Amino acid sequence: MALRVDAVVWGCRVVSYPDLGARPCLGGVNFRRDLRRLWKWRCCCDVLGERDIKPVEDEKPLKPEADDETLQNKLSGFNKDLNSLSKPLSPADLSSFQSNGSKVRVAYQGVPGAYSEDAALKAYPKCETVPCDDYEAAFEAVELWLVDKAVLPIDNSVGGSIHRNYDLLLRHGLHIVGEVHVDVNHCLLGLPGVTKEELRRILSHPQALNQCEETLSKLGLVRISANDTAGAAQIVASEGARDKAAVASVRAAAIYGLNVLEERIQDHHDNITRFIIVAREPMIPATDRPYKTSIVLSFEEGSGMLFKALAVFELRDIEWTKIESRPQRKRPLRIVDDSNKGTAKYFDYLFYIDFQASMAEPRAQSALSHLQEFATFLRVLGCYPMDTHR
């Protein structure tokens, strides 16, 4: 099956896939439908290996239909040099501008005012942020060259890991090229003139609701989950119900014209979310600053192997900063013949490990080759500069 790349417009590939009887597509124009076709094509060609194909029910575009003028603007930014777009990244690529002077486009889940957008702007202050319906759409937008990067929450100091993004990292072939910490200040937002006493219902992202459990219980509010914090603020503002409030940021309040009834309503004053930045190309590992490396691996046998894996780092004085385990859905049970006691069954897990070293360092390279000796699967998700600020 053939795919023809007709041109690269505004960082998006204009593609046609004659074998599927499809017309050329341009990011932003009927994006979802074209995306599905390209998706099928990618799966047929096994470009990125096995993946789940999620049927997309709605025909809603990721971005509103582009009008003629927008299209013309996009077309004027033609870039036919495909090769220049697929080079590995260096720390200089942490700039908000690309080598051709155009702004870096960064996808995030949510609507303007979401913490994920704060993270994108913290990492690339002058970037163009591109809102996406869900985390998966943000990954897809990078894969389809509609944006340059995506920023995704991965871990929160109060709520813990965002498991969905660990799973998506494995399913998609993107690379982690950076991390950014955002200090989360959850606020209680209501319609102008509304008092706390009038509130009955509270909307927000499930993580935000969990992080504010104590305050929300004291206020006796009924929780309603929303796609993202800013999306919740947008709903409260547009519905105009006086008993409904949102948990979101001060910036979201300003964008949607809501009143900040109380700031820092989270149960723990210090509430930091770690976001990762993913791109199509990996970052070239260097040693000019502190680097972190993220890997995912699995073992044939159980708990002793994890101990051995951690010893690999300890032996080389490498500090690991995070371990997360996720079930191996394709192989949920490992059956062990336990001689005269019968057959034991264990769940099988993938382990995600972050450690503080650059792949440019011999000690990190030797740690990975050591791990390879007993891991049944090992993938480097990325080696990237650490966010050493708060």
Ligand X SMILES: O=C(O)C(=O)Cc1ccccc1
What residues are annotated to the active site?
273, 275
For residue 158, the minimal CB distance to ligand X (Å) is 9
The encoded tokens of residue 61 equal 């575009």
By CB under 6 A, how many residues form the interface with ligand X?
14
* Residue 185 in contact with ligand X, rule: CB under 6 A: no
Residue with Cβ nearer ligand X (114 or 295): 114
Closest contact distance (angstroms) between CB of 235 and ligand X is: 13
Cβ 105 vs Cβ 128: under 8 Å: yes
Compare residues 66 and 230 and give the one whose CB is closer to ligand X.
230
Write down the least CB distance from residue 183 to ligand X, Å.
10
What is the DSSP code string of 370-386? HHHHHEEEEEEEEEEE-
User: What region does 33 belong to: left with phi over 0, alpha with psi -120 to 50, or beta?
Assistant: alpha
Pick the stretch among 17-25, 53-61, 223-231, 344-352 that binds ligand X (CB under 6 A): 223-231
Question: Is 114 near ligand X (CB under 6 A)?
Answer: yes
Burial letters 252-275, b for 16+ CB under 10 A, else e: bbebbebebbeeebbeeeebebbb
Distant-in-sequence, close-in-space partners of 186: CB < 8 Å, separation ≥ 6: 204, 208, 211, 212, 229, 247, 248, 249, 264, 265, 266, 271
Nearest-angstrom CA–CA distance, 168 and 381: 12
Q: Does 115 bind ligand X (CB under 6 A)?
A: yes
Beta strands in 103-230 (DSSP E): 105-109, 128-132, 149-156, 160-161, 175-183, 187-190, 201-204, 222-225
Cα distances (Å, whole numbers) of residue 327 to 164, 166, 170: 12, 11, 12
Per CB under 6 A, 293 contacts ligand X: no
- Closer of 201 and 370 to ligand X (Cβ): 201
CB of 191 to ligand X, least distance (A): 20
**Single-letter residue type at 119:** A
Q: Which is nearer to ligand X, 131 or 285 (CB)?
A: 131
User: Does residue 228 touch ligand X according to CB under 6 A?
Assistant: yes
Pick one of 208, 221, 295, 297: the residue that binds ligand X (CB under 6 A): 208
Instruction: Establish if 131 lies at the interface with ligand X (CB under 6 A).
Output: no
| 127 counts as binding ligand X under rule CB under 6 A | no
Q: Give the Cβ contact number of residue 73 at 10 Å.
A: 12
Mask of contacts with ligand X, 137-176, x by CB under 6 A?
----------------x--x--------------------
Task: Give the residue from 181, 238, 228, 236 showing the smallest Cα distance to 208.
Answer: 228
Taking the least distance from each CB to ligand X, the nearer of 151 and 194 is: 151
Of the candidate spans 63-71, 94-102, 172-180, 205-213, the one that interacts with ligand X by CB under 6 A turns out to be 205-213
N- to C-terminal Cα distance for the chain? 48
Q: State the minimum distance, in angstroms, from the CB of residue 141 to ligand X.
A: 16
For residue 8, give both structure tokens.
């690269």
Q: Which of 138, 191, 203, 230 binds ligand X (CB under 6 A)?
A: 230
- The tokens describing 113, both together, are 């005012």
Question: Do residues 108 and 224 make contact, with C-beta atoms less than 8 angstroms apart?
Answer: no
Indicate the residue among 273 and 293 with the shorter CB distance to ligand X.
273
Nearest distance from C-beta of residue 129 to ligand X, angstroms? 12
Residues at the site binding ligand X, with contacts judged by CB under 6 A? 110, 114-116, 153, 156, 184, 205, 207-208, 228-230, 273
